[in-house]
Chains A and B, each alone.
Chain A
Amino acid sequence: MKIVVLMKEVPDTYGERKLNLETGLAERSDSEAVLDEIGERALELALSLAGSLDSPEITVVSMTPESATTTLRKALAMGADKLVHIADEKLVGADLGLTAEVLAAAIRRTGFDLVIAGNLSTDGQGGVIPAMLAELLGVPHASSLTSVEVSAERVHGTRETDGGIMEVAAALPAVISITERFPAGRFPNFKGIMAAKKKPVEKLTAADLEVDPEALDVPRSIMLAVSERPARSAGMKIVDEGDAGEKLAEFLIQNRLA
């Protein structure tokens, strides 16, 4: 079974993340880049499924700048078999439509029975790429899963939305997206790190995938304006001396908040 895991490199959310006020793009230099946590969970799921599947092959596909190679190697060290890295200057700042087009082409080229993605990446707003991919690939999409079972022909899972909880199923090939209720990714061990050095890494450009990032006949979403809001500052801080609850009640009442 061919499993494709979609992973992204993102600015570390533990650091302060900045946008360039002219380009509206993330300032990569300002915060350390890491593998998106949800992508690691997706890979962890793939690794845990692999044991019960027939000749499993896990390929990590990522569209992210050239500089991400070292970060992405962690996925190979965790246990993925292969890495497909799409890095292209022309794809910097790609909108959702272009990103989906490129990823779909890369997934098709790699071949797949099951695509596992995160439900939501942590760099800005998202949560639509997996659905876009399913449409472009013409396959079912089971989204926001909190549990997953896979057999040779089918994927089954629990899907959680605001409205309720459903059991869903799809015939393979399919795209699934998982939530952060799945276990965190494992830490690569020494053996994994050594093995990773011999694993295949394929570098691709948009041209290799026959996608034209500059095509003018497709509408693209563009940034018109970016502005920074003033940071919030701390107000009053009291240490409880036995009456902080009372004082807080007073504060709330005075400010018409209670």
Chain B
Amino acid sequence: MTTFPEDSILVLLETTPSGTPARSAAGLLGAAAEVGTPVALIVAGPDGAADTAAAAGDLGAAYVLTAQPESVSSLLAVPTVDALAAAAGLVRPDAILISNSVDGRDAAGRFAARTRFALAVDAVGVGRDPEGIVAHHSVYGGAYSVDCAPTFGAPVITLREGAVDSRAEARTPQIESLDVPSSGIAAASIESFEARTVTSTRPELRGAVKVVAGGRGLTSQEQFALVDQLADVLGAAVGASRAAVDAGWVPNNYQIGQTGISVSPQLYVAIGVSGAIQHRAGMQTAKTIVAINKDPDAPIFEIADFGVVGDLFQVVPQLINSLSARKE
């Protein structure tokens, strides 16, 4: 039976439907390696767990626990939480790191409520002080930095995807399969699942280095294509304001802001976005902000490094042409 290091950090790895570690895995293991020894927990269906475990090692997991509760693909959250509880009991980690995704938050919330461990959500980094693990947060759109820690015990921390840049060194992990007793707690059942198909070759919005975002100023789904075109010339990810999402021009997971995704790219281009405070909350930590808006008083200009007051239907096509011409 494996004994786990004193400074173990238990990481719940999300997997894609095809069984590979999800995008959030590298950042979670990177953060864990900064403060201790990463122990990855993979909760997945029966196929492919061995490949996933090796892939987790490539991302820095020193140990991998694989759990295969029968009901994992038919019940929401509870089987994962049962596995987390079993893993935490075995590993006795200094902290438990989970992605701040919808699934991650469901698991973290239930797990913390069950075990009474202190919970910190949407951290942008972790640290260690003599007392233990500390979670770093960026709140109110990056206006404040806040550090949190538990009064005692290991904290459960959900980590904002794309916020941690550091990556752990690849290892050959020690792999062990984990026995998971079912808690029998009532769960919602999954009747069907349709994986999001990745139709574009564009970078992922979370953690993107460049982002082009479009707002209500684009006026229609057809015209929103301008945003896509500029993004492709720049090699950028595409995002949107809530108004553009509400209008149905782009999917829900394009939304940037308070109740959408928070991004911190090198370049943020806002097109036809007014810059409402709730939108700014998700992008104002970008390194360079560029805004194109016909209203000289649009609040987005208050934080833009380069603002263009003009009609986006004139400015953006010219920008695209100019950039493409220079590329050739």
A and B bind: yes
Task: Give complex CA distance A232, B82 in Å.
Answer: 45
Contact partners of A257 in chain B: CB under 8 A: 210, 234, 266-267, 288
B144 adjacent to A174 (CB under 8 Å): no
Contacting residues, chain B, for A84 (C-beta < 8 A):
none
| C-alpha gap A253/B108 in the complex (Å) | 43
Residues of A within 8 A of B (CB): 13-19, 24, 38, 95-97, 100, 119-120, 122, 124-136, 138-144, 146, 156, 159-171, 174, 179-181, 216, 218-229, 231-240, 242-249, 251-253, 255, 257-258
Question: Of B29-37, B58-66, B113-121, B165-173, which stretch is located at the interface?
Answer: B113-121
- Among B95-144, those with CB < 8 Å from A are 100-103, 105-110, 112-114, 116-122, 134, 137, 139-140, 142-144
Q: Separation in Å of the A32 CB from the closest CB of chain B?
A: 13
Cβ proximity bits B269-280 to A, threshold 8 Å, 1 near / 0 not: 000000011100
Question: CB within 8 Å of A: which residues of B?
Answer: 14, 16-17, 22, 76-77, 81, 100-103, 105-110, 112-114, 116-122, 134, 137, 139-140, 142-153, 155, 158, 185-196, 210, 233-234, 242, 246, 252-253, 258-259, 266-267, 276-278, 281, 284, 288-290, 292, 296, 301-311, 314-323, 326
Question: Judging by beta carbons under 8 Å apart, are A122 and B311 in contact?
Answer: no
Contact status B77-A131, CB under 8 Å = yes
A sample of 15 more A-B contacts (CB under 8 A), given A141-B188, A164-B17, A169-B189, is: A13-B277, A16-B277, A17-B140, A122-B259, A132-B113, A139-B186, A143-B76, A162-B253, A163-B195, A221-B119, A240-B311, A244-B315, A245-B320, A253-B323, A258-B326
A96 touches B119 (CB 8 A): yes
Using known A-B contacts A222-B150, A249-B323, determine if residue A136 contacts B134 with beta carbons closer than 8 Å: no
Q: Are A141 and B106 in contact (CB under 8 A)?
A: yes
Mostly, the B contact residues are mixed
CB contact under 8 A between A19 and B315, given known A140-B187, A168-B189, A169-B191: no
Task: Report the nearest B residue to A166, measured CB to CB.
Answer: B193
User: What are 13 A-B interface contacts by the 8 Å CB criterion?
Assistant: A96-B112, A128-B106, A140-B188, A143-B77, A156-B191, A159-B76, A164-B196, A168-B190, A220-B151, A221-B118, A223-B146, A240-B308, A244-B310
Chain A residues positioned under 8 Å from B137 (CB to CB): 125
CB atoms of A245 and B144 under 8 A apart: no
Docked CA distance A241–B116 (Å): 62
A244 CA to B107 CA in the complex, in Å?
A: 49
A19→B101 contact, CB < 8 A: no
A138 touches B259 (CB 8 A): no
Number of A-B contacts (CB under 8 A): 297
Give Cα distance in the complex from A159 to B296, angstroms.
Answer: 40
Instruction: Give bound CA distance, A258 to B322, whole Å.
Output: 11
| Contact assessment for B150 and A220 in the assembled complex, using a CB-CB cutoff below 8 Å | yes
Residues of B near A100 (CB, < 8 A) are: 109, 113
Contact status A253-B314, CB under 8 Å: no
The 3 lowest CB-CB distance pairs between A and B, nearest first, are: A245-B318, A240-B310, A131-B109
In-complex Cβ contact of B318 among A97, A219, A244 (8 A): A244
CA of A47 to CA of B191, assembled, Å: 26
CB distance from B311 to the nearest CB of A (A): 7
What are the residues of chain B within 8 A of A242 when measuring CB–CB?
Answer: 314
Q: Are A238 and B308 in contact (CB under 8 A)?
A: yes
Q: By the criterion CB–CB under 8 Å, are B121 and A245 in contact?
A: no
With A163-B196, A245-B316 as known contacts, state yes or no: A237 contacts B118, CB within 8 Å.
Answer: no
Are B309 and A97 in contact (CB-based, < 8 A)?
Answer: no
Q: Which of B142, B155, B242, B306 contacts A221 (CB 8 A)?
A: B155
Closest chain A CB from B135 CB (angstroms): 8
CA distance A122 to B110 in the complex (A): 21
> What is the bound-complex CA distance between A125 and B14, given in angstroms?
21
Q: Given A135-B185, A248-B306, check contact A168 B76 (CB 8 Å).
A: yes
Report yes or no: A125 in contact with B139, Cβ–Cβ below 8 A. yes
Which residue of B is nearest A224, CB measured?
B147
Per the bound structure, the CA–CA distance linking A258 and B158 in Å amounts to 34
Q: Which among A140, A239, A251 has the highest number of chain B CB atoms within 10 Å?
A: A140
Chain B residues near A13 (CB, 8 Å)? 258, 277-278, 281
Judge whether B304 and A234 touch: CB under 8 Å: yes
Selected from A19, A174, A179, A219, the residue in CB contact (under 8 A) with B151 is A219
Quick check: A140 and B76 within 8 Å, CB to CB?
Answer: yes
